[in-house]
Amino acid sequence: MPKNMSKADRIIRIILGIIALALAVFVTTGGWSVLLYIVAAVFIVTSLVGTCLLYIPFKINTNK
């Protein structure tokens, strides 16, 4: 898959992923923590891979 995320987009997603992970571990309980774990995983994995699957159908490319 082609990379469609810029460096700034990837950094922002990593920061948001770390924040979501910290909230899941230290603040929330129950269903909210599971949701935050999933959000954190998606943000971190997409930023490491450099491709956002939701960008593809909308033809968004921040990697210019």
State the pLDDT at residue 21: 96
How far does Cα 10 stand from its chain's mean position?
8
pLDDT of residue 30: 86
**pTM surpassing 0.85?**
yes
Q: To which residue do tokens 């924040």 refer?
A: 19
Q: Residues 37-51: what's their mean pLDDT?
A: 96
d(CA 28, CA 16): 16
Could you say which DSSP state residue 59 is in?
Answer: T
Region 27-49: what's the mean pLDDT? 94
In the chain, pLDDT over 90 holds for what percent of residues? Answer: 86
Residue 64 has pLDDT above 90, yes or no: no
Q: Where are the domains of the chain?
A: 7-50
Residues 6+ apart with CB under 8 A from 41: 17
